[in-house]
């Protein structure tokens, strides 16, 4: 397999060399290529790249994607240049946290090869934006339960843990502590009341206690002459003129044996929980290794990923301490119960059988219930925490932040969440679109009004209302410069806005298409408005003639407190309202919640006026 690497050359700074792999997160740091240790990228510097590897002569062209966004470039003999101006060369200007690079290479045999980088931290200069980002991360973290993970409440105490509850790190800790508590409180009971069976066991006893003589008894007497003593009796072993009897000899007696099925399961289950908590502890420590330990990179720059991952890292560090304490507690309990039963434990592969002892004896039944609870829950895999780490690029984080904000806003205006679901949009494997890991359809109601908020929906190039009730379609196959992977063929053209609002009424449905950009207003106007207007105002239509697209709104995050909602249309004539809407809405934690609500009120007021104008027409 060919070895690829990429040299990133920032203007005025030392270049760094990173590995490229044919699969995401598959770079091999131990290979022979000279790689830069702890590589990072600068947000405000101009870049050019140099593709390196034995197969570079076979490459005819290269398309570059930064966090899945296409960046126009010129490729020549491995050299990749971006634009003709300084700003066009600032590939990471609107990036924050981490970036992923993807190169789509066109080879001389007309085949394509996709190469991916590792996660690269973004270095930024100190400014007031970092505090707003920190607040945004905290907001997503604190509100993720209700909007990102199916809305099931996080358990806060032992009594809140239910079998059908959502699997969380907190729930896993509670369950582990609950099991440890059950073993601790039951130790005295099992020490004196454990069930047992009797069995014959060989034992050396005084002769007076021997009830039966077996061949083993005689063999022991023969092999232990030191036990013989002379007695004044006519019974015993006659040697010469003397009689002898053994002081002690071997016999069989009934003894208690604790190796019954239920006791083995008690010990095996404790071993199982111990292994599960140890596995969780190791997983937690592995996640913590990926968090930057400091925010300062050098005298000029700081590591922006620190501000995004610090909140999750704090939670994981607290969890690691609790897991370590629970692990020690379980080790001590395992040693205590091993002394009772005098046998080794082995991890259980499945829930125990419902034997009469487990079902009818209260002490055993209590432990039986904990066992089934554990197997129902399973080993926690840190899916939620891994999801939060997946938001380490600012675009994903900002999208999740806005999803929560939009839902909160609708609720603050009297709308009630009537339905929440995750729709799996049917898409071919070759499409770049991937279905969300979280709920993506939220239906709100207020009286006769009904509003549906879609997150990352798919707008197909044909009528696909049966998929998720969206009455929009892409009406042409014209390709923009960033439509790599879109063949333009019927059935392969689609759009995926970040959000879609559908407002239903008896006169038809109205749609507002929203897109999130963690960028400044100036950069949104310069780099994004034309593309999004072409996609959503020119190339998207309603399936039904009575429905309408009210317009689009770009929500942007690099903003100050005083920035207002504004229209893209900055040239107007008196008495003329331009439709459809094309709005720019600043929304970030620099504003208070009341200020954010007022800005969203202005947007919805424009929607109402647009609806009223349509009725008059």
pLDDT 10s digits, 439-451: 999 999 999 999 9
- What is the reported pLDDT for 322? 94
Q: Is 199's pLDDT higher than 80? A: no
Q: Of the residues 385, 411, 432, which one is the last residue of a structural domain?
A: 385
Residue 142 resides in a domain? no
- What is the reported pLDDT for 147? 59
Q: Is 438's pLDDT higher than 50? A: yes
- What is the reported pLDDT for 384? 61
Q: Are residues 473 and 365 in the same domain?
A: no
Tokens linked to 535: 């996609």
Asked whether the beta carbons of 563 and 497 are under 8 A apart, the reply is: no
What total of structural domains would you count in the chain? 4
Q: Is 150's pLDDT higher than 50? A: no
Residue 313 resides in a domain? yes
Q: Are residues 277 and 329 in the same domain?
A: yes
Residue 583 resides in a domain? yes
Residue 20 resides in a domain? yes
Residue 151 resides in a domain? no
User: What is the per-residue burial (b if ≥16 Cβ within 10 Å, else e) of 151-172?
Assistant: eeebbeeeeebeeeebbbbbbb
pLDDT 10s digits, 543-585: 999 999 999 999 999 988 889 999 999 988 988 889 999 999 9
User: What is the per-residue burial (b if ≥16 Cβ within 10 Å, else e) of 271-303?
Assistant: bbbbebbbebbebbeebbeebbeeeebeeebbb
Q: Are residues 477 and 607 in the same domain?
A: yes
Q: Are residues 425 and 330 in the same domain?
A: no
Percent of the chain whose pLDDT exceeds 70: 86
Q: Is 32's pLDDT higher than 60? A: no
* Alpha carbon distance 386, 381 (integer Å): 9
Highest mean pLDDT among 35-39, 217-221, 391-395: 217-221
Q: Are residues 65 and 96 in the same domain?
A: yes
For residue 68, name the pLDDT band (cuts at 50, 70, 90): confident
Q: Are residues 416 and 451 in the same domain?
A: yes
Highest mean pLDDT among 53-57, 309-313, 477-481, 490-494: 53-57
Asked whether the beta carbons of 155 and 173 are under 8 A apart, the reply is: no
* Alpha carbon distance 238, 244 (integer Å): 6
Q: Are residues 216 and 305 in the same domain?
A: no
- What is the reported pLDDT for 148? 58
pLDDT 10s digits, 98-131: 888 999 999 999 899 999 998 898 998 887 678 8
φ/ψ of 201, rounded to 5, equals -140, 140
Q: Is 612's pLDDT higher than 80? A: no
Q: Is 29's pLDDT higher than 50? A: no
For residue 18, name the pLDDT band (cuts at 50, 70, 90): very high
Q: Exposure of 182 by Cβ count < 10 A (0-12 exposed, 13-18 middle, 19+ buried)?
A: middle
Residue 476 resides in a domain? yes
For residue 266, name the pLDDT band (cuts at 50, 70, 90): very high
Q: Are residues 316 and 279 in the same domain?
A: yes
Q: Are residues 434 and 571 in the same domain?
A: yes
Q: Are residues 268 and 409 in the same domain?
A: no
For residue 34, name the pLDDT band (cuts at 50, 70, 90): low
The mean pLDDT value of the chain amounts to: 85
- What is the reported pLDDT for 152? 41
Q: Of the residues 343, 359, 385, which one is the last residue of a structural domain?
A: 385
For residue 67, name the pLDDT band (cuts at 50, 70, 90): confident
Q: Are residues 582 and 540 in the same domain?
A: yes
The least confident of 4-18, 207-221, 264-278, 305-319 is 207-221
| Over residues 363-375, mean pLDDT | 93
pLDDT 10s digits, 377-390: 776 766 666 656 65
| Over residues 239-267, mean pLDDT | 83
Domain range for 34 is 4-124
- What residues form DSSP beta bridges with 551? 512, 581
Residue 143 resides in a domain? no
- What is the reported pLDDT for 386? 63
Q: Of the residues 352, 385, 418, which one is the last residue of a structural domain?
A: 385
Helix or strand or coil: residue 507?
coil
Q: Are residues 40 and 182 in the same domain?
A: no
Residue 134 resides in a domain? no
């Amino acid at each position: 397999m060919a070895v690829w690497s990429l040299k990133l050359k920032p203007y005025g700074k030392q270049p760094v060399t990173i590995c490229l792999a044919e699969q995401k997160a598959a770079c091999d740091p131990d290979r022979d290529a000279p790689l830069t240790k702890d590589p990072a990228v600068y947000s405000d510097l101009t870049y050019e790249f140099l593709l390196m590897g034995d197969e570079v002569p076979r490459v005819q062209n290269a398309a570059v994607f930064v966090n899945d966004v296409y960046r126009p470039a010129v490729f020549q003999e491995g050299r990749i240049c971006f634009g003709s101006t300084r700003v066009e060369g600032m590939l990471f200007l609107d990036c924050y946290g981490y970036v992923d690079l993807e190169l789509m290479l066109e080879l001389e045999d007309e085949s394509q090869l996709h190469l991916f980088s590792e996660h690269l931290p973004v270095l930024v200069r100190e400014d007031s934006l970092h505090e707003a980002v920190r607040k945004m991360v905290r907001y997503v973290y604190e509100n993720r339960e209700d909007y990102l993970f199916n809305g099931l409440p996080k358990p806060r105490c032992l009594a809140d843990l239910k079998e059908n509850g959502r699997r969380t790190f907190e729930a896993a800790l509670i369950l582990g502590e609950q099991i440890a508590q059950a073993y601790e409180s039951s130790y005295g009971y099992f020490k004196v009341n454990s069930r047992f069976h009797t069995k014959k066991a060989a034992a050396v006893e005084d002769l007076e206690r021997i009830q039966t003589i077996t061949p083993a008894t005689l063999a022991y007497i023969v092999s232990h002459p030191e036990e013989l003593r002379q007695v004044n009796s006519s019974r015993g072993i006659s040697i010469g003129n003397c009689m002898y009897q053994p002081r002690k000899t071997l016999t069989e007696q009934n003894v208690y044996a604790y190796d019954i099925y239920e006791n083995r399961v008690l010990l095996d289950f404790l071993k199982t929980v111990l292994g599960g908590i140890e596995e969780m502890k190791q997983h937690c420590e592995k996640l913590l290794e990926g968090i930057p330990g400091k925010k300062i990179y050098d005298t000029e720059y700081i590591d922006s990923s620190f501000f995004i991952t610090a909140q999750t890292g704090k939670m994981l560090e607290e969890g690691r301490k609790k897991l370590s304490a629970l692990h020690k507690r379980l080790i001590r309990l395992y040693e205590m119960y091993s002394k009772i039963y005098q046998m080794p434990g082995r991890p259980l592969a499945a829930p125990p059988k419902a034997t009469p002892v487990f079902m009818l004896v209260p002490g055993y039944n209590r432990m039986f219930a904990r066992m089934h609870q554990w197997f129902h829950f399973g080993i926690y895999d840190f899916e939620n925490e891994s999801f939060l780490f997946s938001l380490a690029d600012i675009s994903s984080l900002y999208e999740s932040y806005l999803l929560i904000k939009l839902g909160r806003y609708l609720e603050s205006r009297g709308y009630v969440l009537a339905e929440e679901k995750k729709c799996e949009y049917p898409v071919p494997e070759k499409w770049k679109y991937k279905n969300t890991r979280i709920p993506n359809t939220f239906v709100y109601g207020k009286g006769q009004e009904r509003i549906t908020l879609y997150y990352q929906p798919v707008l197909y190039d044909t009528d696909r209302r049966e998929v998720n009730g969206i009455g929009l379609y892409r009406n042409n196959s014209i390709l923009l410069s960033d439509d790599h992977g879109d063949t333009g063929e019927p059935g392969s053209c689609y759009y995926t806005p970040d959000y879609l609002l559908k407002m239903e009424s008896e006169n038809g449905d109205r749609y507002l298409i929203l897109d999130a950009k963690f960028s400044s207003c100036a950069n949104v106007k310069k780099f994004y408005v034309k593309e999004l207007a072409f996609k959503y105002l020119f190339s998207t239509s309603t399936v039904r003639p009575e429905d309408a697209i009210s317009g689009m709104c770009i929500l942007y995050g690099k903003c100050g407190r005083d920035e207002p909602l504004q229209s893209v249309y900055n040239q107007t004539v008196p008495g003329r309202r331009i439709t459809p809407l094309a709005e720019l809405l600043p929304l970030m934690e620099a504003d208070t919640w009341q200020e954010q609500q007022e800005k969203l009120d202005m947007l919805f007021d424009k929607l109402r006026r647009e609806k009223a104008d349509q009725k008059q027409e």
